[in-house]
Structures are given as C-alpha cells and as structure tokens.
Chains A and B, each alone.
Chain A
C-alpha cells in the first residue's frame, strides 16, 4: 500500500474558475506572442522542428534563440502529460501516487541549503541569584557535510509526517567535488531513508551514474521504471521567461530516460516577475507550461510535476521573502492552475525569513504550511527544517515541523457525521442526562484510544519555562539513535564497485567506518 498522505476534502481556492481561465489565456498569449529566450540550442531546435517560430538572437555575447510556442503545442503537451505520477521508494509502503485531479497532499523535505545549523544548550547563571541556572538554546551555523545529509535523511526517515525526501543540505566536504557530489548525495539519501528521494543534479554528466545506482538498488531498468525510487528537480527556467542552457540540458536528459521530474520555476514578484498577483501567476504558469511542453516534445508521456516556487521580494533588500503572506497566495494560485491541467503539483510552503528557530520561524512557517496545505497540492515541498529563506537547514527545526504537520493532518480529517454517529450521540446524551453528575467523561475513553482525539503538543514543558527546544532536541537524539534500514550489504558492495566517486566512509559495511 502506498503512503496515504492527507486528502483535502474541500480544497481552498483563491481564484474563480473564470480567473483561472484568464490566467491560462494570458500564459498562452505570453508563450505564443512574446515567447521566451532559450539559451539551449537543442531545446530551440526541438521547438522549431515541432512548428514553433524560432529566431536566433543573442544576449550580450551569448547566443540564444527566441522561441514563440504556439497554443497547439502547449495543448498537445498538456494532453500527453501523465495525470498520475508514481514516485517509488525502497520500501513499498513509502511509494507515493500523485493524482493531478485529487488534492491528496504529501509532505516533502528540502531544499539544498549551504548552511547547517547546530544547536547546543549552554547553561547560564543568573547574576542576581547564582543558585538559578538556565539552559538556553544557541545555534551555530557551519557548512553542510555529507554526514549531515545522512543524519538528516536518517531523522526524516523516522519523522512520521515526512512522506518523501528532497536533500536538505549541500554537501561541502573537502573531498566532495563537482564530479562526485551527485553520486554521494543520492547515495547518502537513499541509504538512510526508505522514502522517495528527489534531488537536483550538480553535474549533468553524473546522471547515468545516479540512474545506475538506482537500478542496482531496485534490480534493473524495468524495475526502476515500475518503481522510480529517485526523481529529479530542475529549475530550467530563469525568470523572466528564459531557458537556462545547462539545466535545460539536464531536464531533457532526464525526460529521455522517462524518470519523474519537476518542471520548476521560481520567479520573484517585484524583480524577476510583476509585483501584482495576476502578473506573476500568468508568468510562472507560462514558464512551467513551456517546460512541460519541452518535456513532452522530448519524450511524449514523460512524467512531470508542475513545479511552482513563486516568492515575493522583500522591500528592504529585494531578497526573497518566503515568509510574506503573498508568497502563500501565489503558491495557492499555482496549485489551482496545476489542478486546472490535472497535473500533479509541486508546491512550496514553510520556508521562512527567520534565521534561527523561534517564534518568528514558527509563525511564518506554520501560517504558510496551513494555508498552502489547505489548497491541496500533491507534492508539498514544505521545507522541514529550512530557515533564512533557503539557505539554512536545522535538524531541530525539522523535528519541530513534524509536530506542526501532525496538527495539520489531524485538522484535515473529515467530519465524522452520519446517522449512526448521531444516533449514538443522542443515546449518550439521554444516558448522561439521567445521571446526577451529567458528565460525558466516560464516553471519552474509547474515542481517546481510537485516534479520534488529537495528541497534545509533544514538546510541552511544565508550564514554568519554555522547554520546546530542549524536548525537541531530546526527540531528535532519540530518532538519530533509532536504526534505519540501510541498503543491503550485497547491493552496497556492487554500488561501491560500479559507481565511481563514492566516499568509502559512506559504506556502512566498510572498514573506514
């Protein structure tokens, strides 16, 4: 049985049907009349060979191609794009089935941050009363390593609400380079979680090695097609409306292999996209449709996700403001657009502006996590542990986020109202009214143990001090101590034998451990 995720019964929609149609038409007009710039020659040639109007131009000294995509190509691509995408997993129970027309949400980690945030609890003595000692959480940033990525995958394997794993941290060890980064990040992830693993590629030349690793794990090419334990994410579009050379190349390579891939775009309202909602949504929709069209032209029927990572600019720095309310509005609009096309959506929530865990981070992430989940995206990259927009990952925060999602999932349980339920309730009321105390407490018990009552916040302290960080830290350590199901020794040996560049210290059965 695949993972259940959580079905949103009445998904929240911002736009009317008419507005959705208007955005669609505007996006078609953008692609058909204005077109986009492709810095990738092959992509331009593919569009040209399918009837798009392509003219050679340049941006400074760099040659590029102006591509106008006719509506027909886009509509044909939308028709051939799979409406259901299966994302496999090492453990069958962790497989994800994303249906474009079903608002069933799966919560996913990510994205790749450069900084890993350690936490420590140094103690301080109160000046006015030295007998009082207080421990305060302190956070220390440092560059992420492959060991961190292993730890993160390990903990996320045990976090109940995490449905899939996007690598959380950029591995920057001294012995990691452009050529061995991809194989090591995929292996570190796959070996420490049995959930689905998605990542981008640093070096497109490593695609074959990564795919080979996945084939070794599942037992061959056909089995990988049946159970794609890995998938890819490419931000092939640079906003506004430009296909980047290298990521477009990677995107086409993945499409040719028929593995699931996210067509992602991340415009920033105010700088790389219009500041107004209508503008950024029309543009991001056009950018994603262009990517989807290219994918279908490369390999008809290739499974893609409609990837949307829109964000509003901060007015003080013009940097990303993932914590802004508008960012959630944009994401919800994109969920609606993806549903309009019946294509599974990769959406974003939970990324915050706050730099360390605390009240700001909780408020920002919980707000967007709730509202975006309510819109029913299928694959919600909800940024477990992410801070400072997209640049810091804190494992402690990921543990805290899991508690948020427990609440959100519980909230989305459908109401249990039926004739049978009401008949039982009326019987209870009648019985209670006949007692001297008139209390319903005795009827709590069976409900309490059936999972119908939400659990208390797991990091609640004694009420005299805020113990959230300390308790979450204990939980994090417990999860790290709990074993995970690694790839078996024989397969591991073959992987290390056949895939170049893997760090020997990642072999859990090896001598260098």
Chain B
C-alpha cells in the first residue's frame, strides 16, 4: 500500500497535478487524486515526511528536470510540478517542524520599490518552493526598510531581489547599503535578477550573485547549501 502511494505520488509530481481537478499530461489520471490529496493520504498511512520528500517530491522533480533538459517538458510543465511540490511542502510543514527535520533554507523574495513587475519573481518563487526552499514572497514595490526589517526579524538565509526597469534597479544597491548600515549584510546571501540587471551590476552593488532565471537560482542556492554542508 505504502509503495503504491509513493509511486503514484511521484507520478503525479512528474505529471504536475496539484489536485484531483488538474489535467496533467496523462489523460488516464483525470479525476484521480493529485499531489495534495496524495500527500495527505501518505501522511494518513504513516509514511514519514522525509520519505515523502525524498522518494516522491525530490525524485519526481529530478525526473521533471531531466525531461525539461531533454526538451520533452517546457517551463509550464516545470512550474506545474514545482507548484504541486510547493503545495505538498505546505502540507508537510507542521510535520517537519514537529519532527525537527531541517528545511533547505528560507528565501525571502521581493520586487524592489518603484517596480511592479512580478512575472519573473513569481516564477522564481514557485520554482524555489518546489525545490524545497521555504519561500516568503513580499510582493512588488517593496520599500527597502520593509525588506531590512524582514531580514532582521525572520533571519532568512537568502534574499532574492527583482527589478525589470533600469530606473528601479538602483533600489537594489540602496537596499544593500541599508543592510550594511543595519549590520545585516553578512547575515543573508543576496541574489538579484530581472531584465535590467546583470552579472556586472551584481558585482557593482555588492550582491552575492546574479541569476539569469529561476533554474539558475535553484542551482545557486543548492551550491550554497552544499558549501554549507
């Protein structure tokens, strides 16, 4: 029974079916439980959260990544799977906290003040959540004071900043200065992204890294995780 649930849950991750109402790719799964229902079912059947994460969610996402690399899957497929995994992580969160299982880390993300563009930021948030990070999305047009306060209060390991416009990207530099002034800069890794910025700009303002897209962000964070380990 447990093995069946694990296999079906993994299959639904690969199919990107968050709930029973999702279509996925395989029509045979139509109307059957999706990742959220199956995660709950797995917990009800006493499958440990760590097993659900490693054998269903992470290993399912691994296959999704391979399919994406092989051009069998496209970004919408990747996002659907990531979103499903993110929803599963929300269900697992209290169990993980209760059992003391460490998460991959907390990631705060925001579009800087003056900028309301959020497609890229939202995609990055979905992908990182699907990759197992605890994501806190502060939204768009976020003032540096608010971000600094969150860094101080919530102590995330990572901060992602997004800007589409050349007129708003300067806010990133201003925020980094504010973090320095508040003695917070070395408490958090700062990742920047968005159409206006670049690797060179990241160096110029003292950010830790520039990420081309969400997939790059996952790689960067995973590399930080490995370095920490």
Residues of A with Cβ closer than 8 Å to B?
A: 436-439, 441-442, 444-446, 448-449
Q: Which of B37-89 contact A (CB under 8 A)?
A: 74-77, 79-80, 83
Inter-chain contact A439/B16, CB cutoff 8 Å = no
Q: Does any Cβ of A come within 8 Å of B198's Cβ? A: no
Q: Which of B90-124 contact A (CB under 8 A)?
A: 118-119, 122-123
> Taking A444-B76, A445-B76 as contacts, is the C-beta distance between A439 and B122 under 8 angstroms?
yes
Q: Which of A436, A438, A446 contacts B23 (CB 8 A)?
A: A446
Q: Does any Cβ of A come within 8 Å of B137's Cβ? A: yes
Q: Which of A437, A446, A448 contacts B125 (CB 8 A)?
A: A437
Residues of B with Cβ closer than 8 Å to A?
A: 16, 22-25, 74-77, 79-80, 83, 118-119, 122-123, 125-126, 137
Given contact pairs A441-B80, A442-B83, A444-B76, a sample of 4 additional A-B residue pairs in the complex whose CB atoms are under 8 Å apart: A437-B126, A438-B122, A441-B75, A448-B74
Q: Which 6 A-B pairs have the closest CB atoms?
A: A437-B122, A444-B76, A446-B23, A441-B76, A445-B76, A441-B79
Chain B hits for A438, CB < 8 A? 122
Inter-chain contact A449/B25, CB cutoff 8 Å = yes
19 residue pairs A–B, Cβ–Cβ below 8 Å: A437-B122, A437-B126, A438-B122, A439-B122, A441-B75, A441-B76, A441-B79, A441-B80, A441-B123, A442-B22, A442-B76, A442-B83, A444-B76, A445-B16, A445-B23, A445-B24, A445-B80, A448-B74, A448-B76
Q: Is the interface of A mostly helix, strand, loop or mixed?
A: helix
Chain A hits for B74, CB < 8 A? 448
Chain A hits for B118, CB < 8 A? 437
Least CB separation from B25: chain A residue: A449
Shortest CB distance A430–B (Å): 14
A446 vs B75: C-alpha distance when bound (angstroms): 13
Shortest CB distance A267–B (Å): 49
Shortest CB distance A456–B (Å): 10
Chain A hits for B79, CB < 8 A? 441-442
Chain B hits for A448, CB < 8 A? 74, 76
A446 vs B22: C-alpha distance when bound (angstroms): 10
Chain B hits for A441, CB < 8 A? 75-76, 79-80, 123
Chain B hits for A444, CB < 8 A? 76
Shortest CB distance A446–B (Å): 5
Inter-chain contact A445/B125, CB cutoff 8 Å = no
Least CB separation from B125: chain A residue: A437
Chain A hits for B83, CB < 8 A? 442
Chain B hits for A449, CB < 8 A? 25
Shortest CB distance A462–B (Å): 13
Inter-chain contact A442/B122, CB cutoff 8 Å = no
Least CB separation from B76: chain A residue: A444
Shortest CB distance B76–A (Å): 4
Inter-chain contact A445/B77, CB cutoff 8 Å = yes
Chain A hits for B80, CB < 8 A? 441-442, 445
Chain A hits for B22, CB < 8 A? 442
Chain A hits for B122, CB < 8 A? 437-439
A204 vs B189: C-alpha distance when bound (angstroms): 82
Shortest CB distance B73–A (Å): 10
Chain B hits for A437, CB < 8 A? 118, 122, 125-126
Chain B hits for A436, CB < 8 A? 137
Inter-chain contact B25/A445, CB cutoff 8 Å = yes
A445 vs B122: C-alpha distance when bound (angstroms): 18
A442 vs B75: C-alpha distance when bound (angstroms): 10
A344 vs B138: C-alpha distance when bound (angstroms): 63
Chain B hits for A439, CB < 8 A? 119, 122-123
Shortest CB distance A457–B (Å): 14
Shortest CB distance A227–B (Å): 37
A445 vs B24: C-alpha distance when bound (angstroms): 8
Least CB separation from A449: chain B residue: B25
A449 vs B74: C-alpha distance when bound (angstroms): 11
Shortest CB distance A464–B (Å): 15
Residue among B22, B76, B79 with most chain A CB within 10 A: B76
Shortest CB distance A323–B (Å): 36
A441 vs B16: C-alpha distance when bound (angstroms): 12
Shortest CB distance A34–B (Å): 63
Least CB separation from A437: chain B residue: B122
Least CB separation from B15: chain A residue: A445
Shortest CB distance A61–B (Å): 69
A444 vs B16: C-alpha distance when bound (angstroms): 12
Shortest CB distance A261–B (Å): 47
Chain A hits for B24, CB < 8 A? 445
A140 vs B24: C-alpha distance when bound (angstroms): 50
A183 vs B79: C-alpha distance when bound (angstroms): 58
Chain B hits for A442, CB < 8 A? 22, 76, 79-80, 83
A441 vs B119: C-alpha distance when bound (angstroms): 10
A446 vs B79: C-alpha distance when bound (angstroms): 14
A449 vs B76: C-alpha distance when bound (angstroms): 11
A36 vs B118: C-alpha distance when bound (angstroms): 71
A223 vs B74: C-alpha distance when bound (angstroms): 49
A250 vs B79: C-alpha distance when bound (angstroms): 64
A444 vs B126: C-alpha distance when bound (angstroms): 16
Shortest CB distance A415–B (Å): 22
A448 vs B22: C-alpha distance when bound (angstroms): 15
A437 vs B79: C-alpha distance when bound (angstroms): 12
Shortest CB distance B122–A (Å): 4
Residue among A442, A448, A449 with most chain B CB within 10 A: A442
Least CB separation from B78: chain A residue: A441
Least CB separation from A440: chain B residue: B76
A436 vs B16: C-alpha distance when bound (angstroms): 19
Shortest CB distance B31–A (Å): 14
A441 vs B118: C-alpha distance when bound (angstroms): 13
A135 vs B76: C-alpha distance when bound (angstroms): 35
A445 vs B137: C-alpha distance when bound (angstroms): 25
A449 vs B22: C-alpha distance when bound (angstroms): 15
A448 vs B75: C-alpha distance when bound (angstroms): 11
Shortest CB distance B228–A (Å): 29
Chain A hits for B25, CB < 8 A? 445, 449
